[in-house]
Chain A
Amino acid sequence: MGPELAPFAWAILFAPLAAAGVAGLLVRRRRGLAAAVAVSGMAVGLLCTLYLLARSLGAGEGEPTGFVHNVDWIRAGAFTARFGVVADRLSLLMALVVTGVGTPIFVYSIGYMHGDEGYGRFFACLSLFAFSMLGIVLSTNLLQTFVFWELVGLSSYLLIGFWFGKDSAVEAGKKAFMVNRVGDFGFLTGIILLCWSAASLPSFAGRNPLDFADLAAFYRAGGYEELAKASPHLLGLPVPALAALLVFCGAVGKSAQFPLHVWLPDAMEGPTPVSALMHAATMVAAGVYMICRVFFLFEPFPEALHAVAWIGGLTAFMAATIALVQTDIKKVLAYSTLSQLGYMVMAVGLAGATAGMFHLTTHAFFKALLFLCSGSVIHACHSQEITEMGGLRKAMPSTFWTWIIGTAALVAVPGTAGFFSKDEILAAAAHGEHASLPLLVVGLVTAGLTAFYMLRCTALTFFGEYRGHGHPHESPAVMTLPLWFLAVPALLVGWLGFPLLFHGHPWFQGEFGITGVKVHEGPHEFHLPLALVGTAFAAAGGILGWMVFGARRIDAAAWKERLLPLHTLLSRKYFLDEFYLWLVRTVQQGIAECSDFFEQNVLIRGVVDGLSAAVKASGRALRELQTGSIHTYVRFALAGSVLVVAWVILSAARGGNG
């Protein structure tokens, strides 16, 4: 498998872009055609991914399982930025997730967006998003990653604010874009810092300081020590560790980690397929993927890894607690996504990339499934409030059963996808290289909370009596078929990572991808006791949830009264939104107003108009001399001639003396 297959990789990337262009510009008004173009763009991506994956899996002994293909994008002086595609195991796996989850969601959108005014625009934006996401996946260097990073932000902005007539949607899009930008600020700073620190080393000569492969090779050869020695500590950290943390800022923004997680729940303002595709399966996972890609940057620096793990853990726990009290079905899923993303990031920080990647993969399928189910429910009830649902089990059997499958996977019922991936994370916390007991506790408690809120949501939505208006009905086949299509991997994909099953395959061994992400150092076994403990926590949470909301053995309202301050804290999301609002409305706007005040009053009214006023005033003063009276003029002329004569005489006198 070599660069001769590059056209396929380029096709994965550019088929969706072409589809976006065609759907957005040429056939925007021909609804069916626009959708068809978009879906086929995505399908081409999926097929090419599958082909490359097959070639990679089928690569013989000693044959490379991936390739890189680059072209020079910007050249200026000694600086070269490249643009390329990498098809290694990591990127192909991720591309499979994106295209594999993406294709059914595209199909589902045909039904979901049916009748919407901006049908063509929607598919154009969706395709643009797919292009951006695949760009991150296939990127060969840091700058290219940043390029697509921003593009993902752009398409997210466009899709969240898709219904631009709705103020809340536009605000949510803006918020997503801006919060991501804050993260991107760190990301780009990190890239620049890393680039020039590395490029300034003589031993780095001949390599490209942005390139993943070059950097990884340099680090693997111990270059990071040289890097740390070459430059002084900044902010108490060695420069490469600081660069790694700055790069991690990007992931914090995109993967919605604390404290930049606030945009994700608001992003549910977008159409549901968007929530499923971007805010569950792909875009938010980009951060995790990126950390896996540049894991070599973190590996040598335990302090960086700890920071990553704790931010992940904190996000996982916090989001799970907020999810307990949400009443909007999409918000529950959104916070659940946040919590799971926290898990992934924690996994990366604790053990390494693979556990995080594994959970990312499984989560993509079951969370996309859950979102599409919720979309189906919303489609039927015309409401997103779970308080206005109930008893949908009978009206919508397909949706119900697929939802149950997704829930089972999320709660980590043994045997489902989520079970294996979550187990691996817990194992990392318990036995891994950077094992940490507090984080293990966080992980276990979060597992319990997850089961609790999912059971609460399921019970309120599908069981009991219907509390809404109208008659809910099952969605059309174009929407339910993708549900079943996703339900299969949601159940089964976890087995891929089951150590006893596929671990022997050479594809899963050695260094995973061009940047040398290591897979399972030493025998990584299935930990039965840990799995049991984890399942016990989940079961406890689930049973409790069922007791309160399903069987109604415990009075929910009474407990709410009893724990009112806690409930308020959670339903107000720890007051973080208020804090950011204050930051934006008061601090940022205040600084802006101050600058404007300075501009208008000091610079313009003060300096500029002051100067002009001074000129005018001097003109006015001099005008007084212009009396119009000949006598005055003569007097001035006289005074002048007196001065001239005096000067002549004095200089003559001085000349005479000296």
Chain B
Amino acid sequence: MEGLGFYGFGALTLLGALLMVTSRNPLHGVLWLVVSFLGLSGLFGGLGAHFLAAIQILVYAGAILVLFLFVIMLLNLRPDDVERMPTFSLRGGVGGFLVGVVGFCAVVGSVVMGTGAFAKPVAGLPPLEAGAADVAIPLFSTALLPFEVVSLLLLAAIVGSVALTKRRLP
């Protein structure tokens, strides 16, 4: 069951991500990202982070991506016909190479550091179920200060967005 969850949701997430990146129409892109995030939410659930799984759907897939959709429709963006994925170019080659290096490093890194608990099957780890109440405890105790700071940040973001999008009178 564990394996089914990981591979199923993992495939969904990866597929959604790939389709989002390659989509010409940003509208489609958003929808594919929603798919990807749904998969991600499943993965969270599989790891016992039930609260985050819910948040991922509610806030990310629900609120943020809807905001994207809203903006795209507001701007009435059409599928971009000039833009295309580069087939091959020097820049693309260098970039792809760098990405490959990063990926390689990440893999090698995880292998090198992947000793002990990292190599054990997840199913064998002690169970961890984190509902809203469980996450709330550290959030409002040890992490209270960052929490407040983040709330300030959100406030600033609101003010900033309003200021940026406000139409200036001629």
Contact = CB atoms under 8 A, between A and B. Distances in A.
B112 interface: yes
Nearest to A652: B112
Contacts of A584: none
Q: Sort chain B's interface into a size bin.
A: 10 to 19
A523 B135 CA distance: 127
A642 B109 contact: no
Contacts of A587: none
B64 interface: no
A647 to B, nearest CB: 10
24 contacts: A635-B95, A635-B98, A638-B99, A638-B102, A639-B98, A641-B102, A642-B98, A642-B101, A642-B102, A642-B105, A645-B102, A645-B105, A645-B106, A645-B109, A646-B105, A648-B109, A649-B105, A649-B108, A649-B109, A649-B112, A652-B112, A652-B113, A653-B112, A656-B112
Interface of A is mostly: helix
A653 B113 CA distance: 10
Given A642-B98, A642-B101, 4 more contacts: A641-B102, A642-B105, A645-B106, A649-B112
Interface string A608-647: 0000000000000000000000000001001101100110
Interface string B92-105: 00010011011001
A351 B145 CA distance: 103
Nearest to A645: B105
A635 B112 CA distance: 26
Nearest to B106: A645
Contacts of A645: 102, 105-106, 109
Interface in A406-457: none
Interface in B101-160: 101-102, 105-106, 108-109, 112-113
Contacts, number: 25
Contacts of A638: 98-99, 102
Q: Sort chain A's interface into a size bin.
A: 10 to 19
A642 B108 CA distance: 13
Interface in A345-403: none
A645 to B, nearest CB: 5
Contacts of B105: 642, 645-646, 649
Interface string A261-299: 000000000000000000000000000000000000000
A160 to B, nearest CB: 79
A639 B106 CA distance: 14
Interface in B42-62: none
Contacts of B99: 638
Contacts of B109: 645, 648-649
Contacts of A656: 112
A649 B99 CA distance: 17
B109 to A, nearest CB: 5
A642 B137 CA distance: 37
A656 B98 CA distance: 26
A648 B113 CA distance: 11
Question: Ordered nearest first, which 8 A-B pairs have the shortest CB separation?
Answer: A645-B105, A638-B98, A649-B109, A642-B101, A642-B102, A652-B112, A649-B105, A642-B98
A642 B101 CA distance: 7
Interface in A521-568: none
Contacts of B113: 652
A646 B105 CA distance: 7
Contacts of B101: 642
A638 B106 CA distance: 13
A482 to B, nearest CB: 96
Contacts of A639: 98
A641 B103 CA distance: 12
A638 B95 CA distance: 9
B113 to A, nearest CB: 7
Nearest to B94: A635
Contacts of B98: 635, 638-639, 642
Contacts of A642: 98, 101-102, 105
Nearest to B102: A642
A641 B101 CA distance: 11
A592 to B, nearest CB: 60
Interface in B76-106: 95, 98-99, 101-102, 105-106
A642 B98 CA distance: 8
A200 to B, nearest CB: 75
A588 B134 CA distance: 92
A641 B102 CA distance: 8
B148 to A, nearest CB: 29
A645 B108 CA distance: 10
Nearest to A653: B112
Contacts of B102: 638, 641-642, 645
Nearest to A656: B112
A639 B102 CA distance: 9
A608 B36 CA distance: 60
A656 B102 CA distance: 21
Tell me which of B105, B106, B113 has the highest count of chain A C-beta atoms within 10 A of its own C-beta.
B105
A609 B45 CA distance: 66
A634 B83 CA distance: 19
Contacts of A635: 95, 98
A622 B106 CA distance: 31
Contacts of A649: 105, 108-109, 112
A645 B105 CA distance: 7
